């Protein structure tokens, strides 16, 4: 009977259509291979399991044992008073706002805890408790020290200013940074890095974050049954926590990583599953924190390790990455990107991955089930991120024995090379990319050695060659076609002379598509942007790193404000934000700190607020009156990009620089569609 049932289930099992699942041919190929091998992937699960409609609308509350209370929007809509209530009387607005800010708390916690882990390693390095990490970028250390209240000069007895000892500065920076997570009073120190007008807005609306942890804890308190019941007041706390992420935890993570591991500068690499090599040991690194992967990169390059791999019959060791750990080691070492979030199972299905090492965030539990079908060793490394399956090896990483941990992992991958099955299938697709941009390199490339500022970028925005700036970031989402939204949005933007700053999986998608090369400019860009890119030799899509590196976008926008001519606040800039295929709570936190920093931010796929129209209106319209930025949702990628362009044009008009552009690229019909 059981066998019969199994057979029936196998016959009725829904499998993904590769062409409908992804625009990427390597991904399509591997989805087909998974089906041939009868291995279940996220693409199959997405076609066999529908999302919950009420959760999707944001109006399911399970914050107490009397629920879940489910408040779907009636099919006919709401006419007159909205009488929907949970058992306790919570309205749809309250429930949706609570759920929304709990997502912000989840995202801010993930980014900020990542930042804290880096700060702890930084402190160990500053205290000389570990030999594995050293301060690499002294210049950056000296630039952030004063922002954290650490003096970089001392006065001698005669009043002469002398340089302070670097180790002393590093230790004080480490301690000052750690304080930001839990200091008992005051506000986050980095908030003053924002344009003054923006800081004053935050102050006026009472959303200056006090410390990072407190804002997250307070969300959990306020959203507990029977506490905060006003969606506006709930969002005030959501705003505080999101700002504590963007201008706190994430920004500290980026800065301390740059000081420890080096500030990225542009370099060349490759992207997509085709970076795996059949005759090499393939070690794939996946997750978010670069503290372990940095050491793995160093260990894997050691001649004795390469020799060991040769002895085992491999030509060398090929490191590659998935998700944001990948972006971290790409931007500092040129390690190629193996794929985006949705390609993690597919990498193992090539049969060529000897070991996959994961740290935190965005890791599918199903990796363990897929790894079981192959020789791949799956290694978890973080005490807060383990898996229950028995084929998973846990090597707990610690900065005090970082090198030994990395050596064990690299050796394990090498030793496993000989266990590969004969059925290896690596797609050939890969593309060249230039990545590793940041606030400093944009200044250099678009400002030049003499000026070293953002004036040239501003000039090009003012004269209209560059119509505006877009930050396009975020995940893949299995509820929509893999990479389609990312690529169509970005192509539409650059076609209309909007320069794109990218991070996260959008950066990986663009790299796979070949959009991260200077040559792309001549193919896909409007004439203005193409001219600028060709003159300075940069791609029209600048890869700024991982999810925490969205803080680089905030700082780049601040530099543009400072350079002058484009208003006094980030909200004055002809700029917009986007996450076409978001899925993670971190994306909601990022989206909200962009909005609260003055950026019009459009999400694709879905947004869990549609079941509470009043709350949605608050986010989509009323936020603009306070912070200058607001949320939007647009599923169609072309309309998504065009809404961003329309906002950029609105800002150009307000600045009086709309006349500089004589080309009208959107037809009246297009505009009417947008206004409808
Ligand atoms: Fe229902 Fe109120 Fe409990 Fe939420 S808090 S589950 S709305 S009774
Ligand atoms: S990895 S958070 S899927 S961008 Fe940062 Fe990609 Fe989103 Fe994870």
| Chain Cα centroid distance, residue 523 | 27
Mutate to test the pocket of ligand 2, among 331, 586, 588, 605 (most ligand atoms within 8 A of CB): 586
Closest atom of ligand 2 to 547 CA is 5
Nearest ligand, CA 62: 1
Q: Please name the helix (run of DSSP H) or strand (run of DSSP E) that holds residue 457, with its range, or none.
A: helix 455-462
Question: Residue 385: inside a domain, yes or no?
Answer: yes
Helix 402-416, helix 290-300: angle, nearest 10: 60
Q: What is the pLDDT of residue 675?
A: 42
**Per-residue b or e along 573-582, where b marks 16 or more CB atoms closer than 10 Å to that residue's CB:** bbbbbbbbbb
pLDDT per position as a tens digit, 506-534: 999 999 999 999 999 999 999 999 999 99
Q: Yes or no: say if 340 and 298 are a contact pair by the CB < 8 Å rule.
A: no
Q: What is the pLDDT of residue 674?
A: 44
Nearest to 279 by CA among 252, 309, 303: 309
Q: Yes or no: say if 543 and 511 are a contact pair by the CB < 8 Å rule.
A: yes
Q: What whole-number distance in Å separates Cα of residue 589 and Cα of residue 595?
A: 10
Whether residues 255 and 280 fall in one domain: no
What average pLDDT does range 618-642 have in this prediction?
Answer: 98
Q: What whole-number distance in Å separates Cα of residue 647 and Cα of residue 496?
A: 13
Question: Residue 217: inside a domain, yes or no?
Answer: yes
Residue 591 has φ and ψ, to the nearest 5°, of: -55, -45
Q: Yes or no: say if 585 and 110 are a contact pair by the CB < 8 Å rule.
A: yes
Nearest Cα residue to atom 2 of ligand 1: 88
Question: Residue 249: inside a domain, yes or no?
Answer: yes
Nearest Cα residue to atom 3 of ligand 1: 64
What average pLDDT does range 403-422 have in this prediction?
Answer: 96
Whether residues 535 and 580 fall in one domain: yes
Residue 22 has φ and ψ, to the nearest 5°, of: -150, 155
CA dist 520 → 194, 563, 640 (Å): 33, 28, 22
What is the whole-number distance in angstroms between the Cα of residue 504 and the centre of ligand 2? 5
Whether residues 368 and 480 fall in one domain: no
Whether residues 305 and 344 fall in one domain: yes
Mean pLDDT score of the chain, rounded to an integer?
94
Q: What is the pLDDT of residue 669?
A: 59
Nearest to 378 by CA among 316, 505, 285, 271: 285
Question: Residue 118: inside a domain, yes or no?
Answer: yes
Question: Residue 267: inside a domain, yes or no?
Answer: no
Assess whether the C-beta atom of 474 lies below 6 angstroms from ligand 2. yes
Whether residues 249 and 349 fall in one domain: no
pLDDT top residue among 332 and 157: 332
CA dist 316 → 144, 176, 267, 279, 297 (Å): 39, 43, 22, 8, 13
Lowest mean pLDDT among 98-107, 115-124, 126-135, 452-461: 452-461
Q: What whole-number distance in Å separates Cα of residue 512 and Cα of residue 26?
A: 10
Assess whether the C-beta atom of 85 lies below 6 angstroms from ligand 1. no
What is the whole-number distance in angstroms between the Cα of residue 233 and the centre of ligand 1? 18
pLDDT of 79 over the 90 cut: no
Assess whether the C-beta atom of 88 lies below 6 angstroms from ligand 1. yes
Question: Could you tell me the CATH number of the domain that includes residue 230?
Answer: 1.20.1270.30
Helix 439-451, helix 550-563: angle, nearest 10: 30
Residue 415 has φ and ψ, to the nearest 5°, of: -60, -25
The neighbouring-strand residues paired with 385 are 382
Mutate to test the pocket of ligand 1, among 60, 87, 96, 226 (most ligand atoms within 8 A of CB): 87
- Residue 640 makes CB contacts below 8 A (sequence gap 6+) with 485, 489, 578, 580, 602, 604, 634
Q: What whole-number distance in Å separates Cα of residue 447 and Cα of residue 440?
A: 10
Q: What whole-number distance in Å separates Cα of residue 507 and Cα of residue 472?
A: 8
What average pLDDT does range 231-241 have in this prediction?
Answer: 98
User: How, if at all, do strands 600-603 and 631-633 pair?
Assistant: parallel
Assess whether the C-beta atom of 253 lies below 6 angstroms from ligand 2. no
Question: Residue 675: inside a domain, yes or no?
Answer: no
Which domain range does residue 183 map to? Answer: 92-154+163-261
Q: What whole-number distance in Å separates Cα of residue 478 and Cα of residue 340?
A: 12
Whether residues 101 and 150 fall in one domain: yes
Nearest ligand, CA 71: 1
pLDDT top residue among 169 and 422: 169
Assess whether the C-beta atom of 321 lies below 6 angstroms from ligand 2. no
Nearest Cα residue to atom 5 of ligand 1: 225
Q: What is the pLDDT of residue 416?
A: 98
What is the whole-number distance in angstroms between the Cα of residue 48 and the centre of ligand 1? 30
Q: What is the pLDDT of residue 671?
A: 43
| Among 229, 261, 293, residue at a domain's last position | 261
Share of the chain above pLDDT 90, in %: 87
Assess whether the C-beta atom of 337 lies below 6 angstroms from ligand 2. no
pLDDT of 454 over the 90 cut: no
Q: What is the pLDDT of residue 8?
A: 66
Closest atom of ligand 2 to 586 CA is 2
Whether residues 553 and 440 fall in one domain: yes
**Band (232; pLDDT cuts 50, 70, 90):** very high
Residue 106, burial from CB neighbour count under 10 angstroms (0-12, 13-18, 19+): middle
The neighbouring-strand residues paired with 302 are none
Nearest to 328 by CA among 302, 364, 355, 296: 296
What average pLDDT does range 174-189 have in this prediction?
Answer: 97
Question: Residue 455: inside a domain, yes or no?
Answer: yes
What is the whole-number distance in angstroms between the Cα of residue 85 and the centre of ligand 1? 9
What average pLDDT does range 427-432 have in this prediction?
Answer: 97
What is the whole-number distance in angstroms between the Cα of residue 235 and the centre of ligand 1? 19
User: How, if at all, do strands 468-472 and 575-579 pair?
Assistant: parallel
Q: Yes or no: say if 234 and 222 are a contact pair by the CB < 8 Å rule.
A: yes
What is the whole-number distance in angstroms between the Cα of residue 231 and the centre of ligand 1? 15
For the record, the structure tokens of 487 come out as 């690529």
Nearest ligand, CA 98: 1
What is the whole-number distance in angstroms between the Cα of residue 88 and the centre of ligand 1? 6
DSSP 321: E
What is the whole-number distance in angstroms between the Cα of residue 67 and the centre of ligand 1? 5
| Among 230, 261, 292, residue at a domain's last position | 261
Q: What whole-number distance in Å separates Cα of residue 462 and Cα of residue 492?
A: 21
The neighbouring-strand residues paired with 282 are 318
What is the whole-number distance in angstroms between the Cα of residue 462 and the centre of ligand 2? 33
| Among 419, 453, 468, residue at a domain's last position | 419
| Chain Cα centroid distance, residue 674 | 28
Whether residues 242 and 284 fall in one domain: no
Residues in the chain: 676
HEC string for 13-27: CCCCCHHHHECCHHH
Whether residues 119 and 208 fall in one domain: yes
DSSP 385: B
Whether residues 640 and 592 fall in one domain: yes
What is the whole-number distance in angstroms between the Cα of residue 43 and the centre of ligand 2? 17
Q: What whole-number distance in Å separates Cα of residue 592 and Cα of residue 580?
A: 15
What is the whole-number distance in angstroms between the Cα of residue 547 and the centre of ligand 2? 7
Q: What whole-number distance in Å separates Cα of residue 418 and Cα of residue 277?
A: 14
Whether residues 472 and 552 fall in one domain: yes
Q: Yes or no: say if 647 and 638 are a contact pair by the CB < 8 Å rule.
A: no
Q: What whole-number distance in Å separates Cα of residue 264 and Cα of residue 438?
A: 7
DSSP 158: T
Share of the chain above pLDDT 70, in %: 95
pLDDT of 451 over the 70 cut: no
Question: Could you tell me the CATH number of the domain that includes residue 370?
Answer: 3.40.50.2030
What average pLDDT does range 293-321 have in this prediction?
Answer: 97
- Residue 361 makes CB contacts below 8 A (sequence gap 6+) with 110, 114, 287, 288, 323, 324, 385, 584, 586
Q: What whole-number distance in Å separates Cα of residue 142 and Cα of residue 472?
A: 30
Q: What is the pLDDT of residue 5?
A: 66
Q: Match 């004969």 to its residue by tokens.
A: 422
Question: Residue 248: inside a domain, yes or no?
Answer: yes
Whether residues 400 and 490 fall in one domain: no
Q: What is the pLDDT of residue 178?
A: 97
What average pLDDT does range 631-638 have in this prediction?
Answer: 98
**Band (668; pLDDT cuts 50, 70, 90):** low
Nearest to 317 by CA among 325, 308, 326: 308
Q: What whole-number distance in Å separates Cα of residue 619 and Cα of residue 604?
A: 15
Number of domain units in the chain: 3
Assess whether the C-beta atom of 323 lies below 6 angstroms from ligand 2. yes
Assess whether the C-beta atom of 225 lies below 6 angstroms from ligand 1. yes
pTM: 0.95
């Amino acid at each position: 009977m059981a066998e019969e049932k199994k057979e029936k289930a196998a016959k009725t099992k829904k499998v993904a259509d590769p062409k409908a699942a992804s625009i990427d041919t390597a991904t399509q190929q591997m989805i087909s291979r998974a089906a041939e091998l009868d291995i279940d992937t996220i693409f199959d699960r997405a076609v066999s399991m529908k999302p919950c409609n009420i959760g999707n609308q944001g109006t399911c509350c399970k914050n107490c044992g009397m629920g879940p209370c489910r408040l779907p929007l009636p099919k006919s809509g709401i006419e007159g008073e909205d009488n929907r209530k949970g058992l306790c009387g919570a309205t749809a607005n309250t429930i949706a706002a609570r759920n929304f800010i709990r997502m912000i708390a989840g995202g801010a916690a993930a980014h900020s805890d990542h930042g804290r882990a880096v700060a702890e390693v930084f402190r160990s390095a500053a205290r000389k408790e570990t030999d594995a990490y050293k301060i690499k970028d002294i210049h950056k250390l000296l630039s952030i020290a004063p922002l954290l209240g650490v003096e970089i000069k001392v006065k001698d007895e005669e009043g002469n200013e002398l340089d302070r000892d670097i180790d002393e500065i590093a230790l004080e920076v480490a301690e000052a940074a750690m304080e930001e997570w839990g200091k008992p009073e005051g506000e986050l120190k980095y908030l003053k890095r924002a344009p003054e007008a923006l800081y004053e807005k935050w102050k006026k609306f009472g959303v200056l974050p006090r410390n990072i942890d407190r804002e997250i804890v307070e969300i959990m308190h306020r959203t507990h049954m029977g506490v905060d019941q006003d969606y506006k007041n709930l969002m005030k706390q959501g705003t505080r926590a999101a700002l504590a992420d963007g201008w706190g935890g994430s920004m500290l993570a980026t800065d301390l990583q740059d000081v420890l591991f080096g500030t990225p500068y542009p370099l060349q690499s490759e992207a997509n599953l085709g970076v795996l090599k059949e005759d090499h040991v393939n070690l794939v690194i996946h997750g978010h924190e670069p503290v372990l992967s940095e050491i793995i990169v160093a260990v894997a390059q050691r001649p004795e390790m390469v020799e060991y791999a040769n002895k085992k019959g491999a030509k060398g060791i090929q490191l590659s990455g998935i998700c944001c750990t990948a972006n971290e080691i790409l931007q500092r070492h040129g390690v190629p990107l193996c794929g985006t979030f949705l390609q993690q199972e597919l990498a193992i299905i090539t049969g060529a991955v000897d070991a996959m090492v994961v740290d935190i965030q965005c890791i599918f539990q199903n990796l363990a089930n897929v790894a079981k079908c192959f020789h791949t060793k799956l290694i978890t490394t973080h005490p807060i991120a383990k898996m229950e399956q028995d084929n998973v090896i846990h090597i707990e990483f610690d900065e005090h024995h970082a090198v030994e941990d990395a050596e064990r992992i690299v050796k394990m991958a090498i030793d496993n090379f000989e266990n590969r099955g004969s059925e290896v299938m690596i797609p050939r697709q890969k593309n060249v990319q230039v990545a590793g941009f940041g606030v400093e390199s944009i200044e250099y490339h678009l400002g030049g050695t003499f000026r070293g500022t953002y004036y040239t970028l501003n000039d090009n925005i003012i004269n209209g060659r560059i119509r505006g700036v877009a930050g396009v970031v975020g995940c893949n989402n299995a509820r929509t076609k893999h990479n389609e939204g990312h690529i169509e949005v970005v192509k539409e933007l650059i076609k209309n002379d909007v320069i794109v700053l990218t991070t996260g999986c959008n950066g990986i998608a663009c790299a796979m598509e070949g959009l991260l090369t200077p040559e792309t400019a001549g193919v896909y860009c409007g004439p203005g942007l193409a001219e600028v890119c060709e003159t300075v030799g940069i791609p029209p899509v600048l890869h700024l790193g991982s999810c925490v590196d969205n803080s680089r976008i905030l700082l780049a926008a601040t530099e543009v404000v400072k350079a002058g001519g484009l208003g006094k606040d980030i909200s004055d800039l002809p700029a917009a934000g986007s996450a076409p295929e978001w899925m993670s709570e971190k994306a909601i936190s990022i989206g909200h700190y962009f909005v609260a920093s003055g950026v019009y931010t459009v999400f694709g796929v879905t947004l869990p607020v549609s079941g509470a129209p009043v709350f949605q209106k608050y986010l989509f319209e009323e936020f603009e009156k306070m912070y200058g930025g607001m949320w939007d949702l647009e599923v169609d990628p072309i309309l998504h990009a065009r809404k961003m362009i329309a906002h950029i044009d609105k800002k150009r008009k307000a600045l009086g620089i709309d006349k500089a552009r004589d080309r009208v690229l959107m037809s009246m019909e297009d505009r009417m569609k947008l206004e409808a």
